[in-house]
Structure 1
Amino acid sequence: MEWAGWRFGGKDVADAAAAVVVALLIRYAIVDPPGPSSPLPTWLAWPVAAVLSFPIALRRRRPRAMLGFACAAAAVATAAGAVAAGAIWLSFAPTVLVLYLVASTASLIWSAAALAACLTAAATAILTFYMQVFPGLEVGTAPSEIAPAWPVEISVNAVLLTAAWALGAVVRWKRDTTARLVRHLAESAVSDERRRIARELHDVIGHSMSLITVKATVANHVADARPQEVRAALAVIEQTSRSTLAEIHRVLNLLRSEGEPQQDHLPVPGMADLPELAAHARSAGVEVDLTVREEAELPPAVAMSVYRIVQQALTNVVTHVGPTRCTVTVDVGGREAVIEVLDDGPRHGRPPRPKHGGHGLVGMRERVKIYGGAFSAGPRPEGGFRVSARLPYGLNGTAT
């Protein structure tokens, strides 16, 4: 519902209803107070009650302004004697409700200053009432339900105002704590995503550049003697470069913000792409024997992790060992994927090429760690190198 540019919701309606209820209570207390009656005409009880409770209805719109209005109105009404002797706390009830909202939304320093101002105004107004107005009130024939006394009035108002402020401050603290926790989780999610994208780029670029380097080296050595091999090597380089650019394009699309136009996503690599990996390694001089036993279809996320682990293992073979024989076994079943990559080591006793960085093994280990699996990598007693990984997964492809 809208009126004059204001939009009213359920909370506004609830505040308006609360203002009406408080106005009725204040009016009833003024007409029939527990202590001596007010010297003002009875008909003034309605406008006084309406003015005192009005800030409750607009406290969400102008909390600070309504707090000042409520406190000032209660203080003036109390000092003028237009309130219920023995139940002055009802006059400050709107101030209590607005102070709670201010304490739950404003800064701690500002709300504490507002609390101090309200306490001072209430104490001053009550003392003025009991020193100047109360002695002139007519004492009723019936004894008072509550014996009016300024220490009791000041204490009750002080307790209510302080309790409202403390409750609002606690609500604000919990809200701020929750917001900080949400921001921390969001930042952690962003960091995890960045690490994942970095692993993707490392795997894509590392595998492709290793293959391109090997084929370029071959082409350079046989350029004069065997030009046909040069053309074949250049064809492999061209094909690998195109596929690498496509994969990099897919990964970098993940970095786009939601407001930027997204291009069509390329398919995520998986189990069906393993033979192409083996073919790339063979073109670099590695005899790859690929065996895939898939009793159940892997979820896409697990299949991509299997693909990346095999890709990185073959990249290490091409980069650090060179032409050799390599066996790749992927066994899927029983809610887990088991990967084993074995190579025979350099041929003719040639020492392996020096490693640079070592990020490949780290990336594979991190992928396995995500699923709570087991990873091992190291030299074989009979020569060569062995990489083994086990990825358990749940029904939806998550870690078990």
Structure 2
Amino acid sequence: MTSVPADSMRRPWWQRHAVDAVALFVGVAVVGSAWHLSTRPGERPLDAFGVALGSVAVAGVLAHHWRPIAALLVPSGAIFVYLLMHYPNGPIYVLGPLGLFVFGLSAQRRPRPWLSPAVMLVVALCALLTDDGEWFRAAMVVGWSVVAILLADLIRTRLEQAAERRIALQQQRKRAEVEQQLELARDLHDSVAHALTAINVQAALAERVAVTAPDDAAEAARAIRMSSRDALAELNAIVRSLREPGAVPTRPQHCLSDIDALVDRAREAGLTVDVESSIGAELPDDVQAASYRVVQESLTNAVRYAPGSRVRLRVQGVGGGLQVSALDDGPAPGESVHPPGGGHGLIGMAERVRATGGTLRHGPSGPGFVVEARWERV
């Protein structure tokens, strides 16, 4: 069992103070027994010093809140002196096992396994040597001490297990929150980057043809309105998810049937897109969503970095799996190219594909750029 921080094993207040109540009760019993304990030949009647030893033992048990080691050593030391003084059997003996119990339970770290038994054996040996050859007191010390040590270890183990489960659950929730944040960040990048790229291209087109071709300018304005509308819808869904952490996402889950809209917008932005699609069996939703984002990011990058290019888009079922690829032939002559970005889109695309069991490769291919995602089994 690994060591668990004490703060993670905190018990209800009534459990933490139950030992205190028992110790105080025994202390009262020690004081009250001063006038009632009978003595055998050779024993010393309980006097003020014996009562003081009992009070010291009680104080040692109560000190476990601040110094757990005091609960082990102080009561045992007081009982050791009590035995050496040949006082009669009395309630003070309860404080020894009680100190062993509370020490095993309250120590910041799990105590060394030999420490409590060693203290127990010293006290038991003293009880045996001061009992005129009889073994009753020694057996009593050993018996109750063993029970206290085992009970403390059992309860501590249960508390540590509960604390570990609690910590594991907290870590799991934290990982889920981080994953949700990454998912939202990827969605935000994909949606905004795609929409803004399309808006930028259409705005430039509208500016060029506003006078010479009003119909084309109106069509570009319509495309801008559609792109901004879709982006706002996704942004609203993302904001709702951020305001309600852990809530089930309300934004639409894209699938492969939505690719046609992406292709249409890419063509409106000036790309020539050739599509080859052959999908056999129904695909899982998460794979379809990841495939959609691969196509979206690939076409967005082509619009930004290879304007006017021809893009060959393939979505094919291959041997029980799926392959999605996009290859452009580089920017058309005379087209202005955006400067390279931070690569967040490619990173997010790779994360999506890996999360659904696929692999992604991307890089230059001749004058253009290729992106290929592959799932061996879907």
The Cα offsets for residues 271-328 of structure 1, whole Å up to 9 and x where unpaired, read as: 1110000001011011112222110111211111110110000000001111121111
Whether the 8 Å CA contact 2:315–2:323 is kept in 1: the answer is yes
Q: 1:162 to 1:64 in 2, by over 3 A?
A: same
- Partner AA of 1:131 in structure 2: Y
C-alpha separation between the residues in 1 aligned to 2:37 and 2:18? 20
1:209 corresponds to: 196
State the alpha-carbon separation in 1 of the partners of residues 12 and 76 from structure 2.
22
Amino acid at match of 1:204: S
Residues in 1 aligned to 2:345 and 2:335: alpha-carbon distance in whole angstroms: 22
Shift of 1:243: 1.0
Tell me if 1:67 matches 2:19: yes
Q: Are 1:310 and 2:295 an aligned pair?
A: yes
Q: Deviations over 1:322-364 (max 9, x none)?
A: 1121111111354422101111212237685431212222222
Asked whether 1:319 is paired with 2:271, we answer: no
Contact 2:203 2:220 in 1 (8 A): yes
Q: Is 1:293 matched up with 2:249?
A: no
Cα gap change, 1:190 to 1:108, in 2 (>3 Å): farther
Q: Which of 143, 150, 158 pairs up with 1:171?
A: 158
Report the Cα offset of residue 120 of structure 1. Answer: 6.0
Hey, what's the Cα distance between the residues in 1 that align with 2:244 and 2:81? 58
**SS of structure 2 residue aligned to 1:326:** strand
1:27 is matched with none
Deviates more, 1:295-304 or 1:218-227: 218-227
Given that 2:308 and 2:335 are in contact with CA atoms closer than 8 Å, whether structure 1 keeps it comes out as no
Q: Which runs of no fewer than 5 residues in structure 2 stay unpaired?
A: 1-10, 41-60, 91-132
CA displacement at 1:126 relative to structure 2:
7.0
TM-score (norm 2): 0.68
Do 1:75 and 1:121's aligned partners in 2 also have CA atoms closer than 8 Å? no
- In the alignment, is residue 360 of structure 1 matched against residue 345 of structure 2? yes
| Contact 1:206 1:315 (8 Å CA) reproduced | yes
Instruction: Say which of 370, 375, 387 aligns to 2:371.
Output: 387
The correspondence of residues 187-266 of structure 1 with structure 2, limited to 5 A, is 187-257=174-244, 265-266=250-251
Partner of 1:132: 88
Give the aligned partner of residue 329 of structure 2.
Answer: 344
Contact 1:327/1:343 (CA < 8 Å) preserved in 2?
A: yes
Which residue identity does 2:224 align to in structure 1?
Answer: I
Matched to 1:254, the amino acid is S
User: Quick one: which of 343, 357, 360 aligns to 1:375?
Assistant: 360
Query: Matched residue of 2:242: which SS?
Result: coil
Q: Contact 1:281–1:318 at 8 Å: present in 2 too?
A: yes
Structure-2 change in CA distance of 1:70 and 1:300 (3 Å): same
Aligned to 1:97: none
Paired residue for 1:182?
169
Distance 1:252 1:244, change over 3 A: same
Q: Deviations over 1:234-264 (max 9, x none)?
A: 111001111111122223332232699x9x9
Q: Any conservation in 2 of the 1:341–1:387 contact (CA below 8 Å)? A: yes
SS at match of 1:203: helix
CA distance in 2, matches of 1:378, 1:310: 15
Q: Provide the C-alpha distance between the structure 2 equivalents of 1:133 and 1:354, rounded to a whole number of angstroms.
A: 91
* Structure 1: tracts of 5 or more residues without a match: 1-58, 86-101, 135-145, 395-400
For 1:235, what is the secondary structure of its paired residue? Answer: helix
Distance in 2, matches of 1:166 and 1:245, equals 59
Provide the alpha-carbon RMSD of the alignment. Answer: 3.7
Structure 2 matches for 1:40-119, cutoff 5 A?
Answer: 62-74=14-26, 80=33, 109=66, 113-114=70-71, 119=76
Q: In 2, distance between residues paired with 1:114 and 1:390?
A: 64
| CA-CA distance at 1:210 after TM superposition | 0.3
* C-alpha spacing 1:164/1:386, structure 2 compared with 1 (3 Å): same
Letter of the aligned partner of 1:301 in structure 2?
Answer: D
Contact 2:195 2:231 in 1 (8 A): yes
**Structure 2 letter corresponding to 1:311:** Q
So what's the TM-score if we normalise by structure 1?
A: 0.65
- Tell me the number of residue pairs that the alignment of Structure 1 and Structure 2 aligns: 302
- Structure 1 residues 350, 216: CA separation in 2 closer, same or farther (over 3 Å shift)? closer
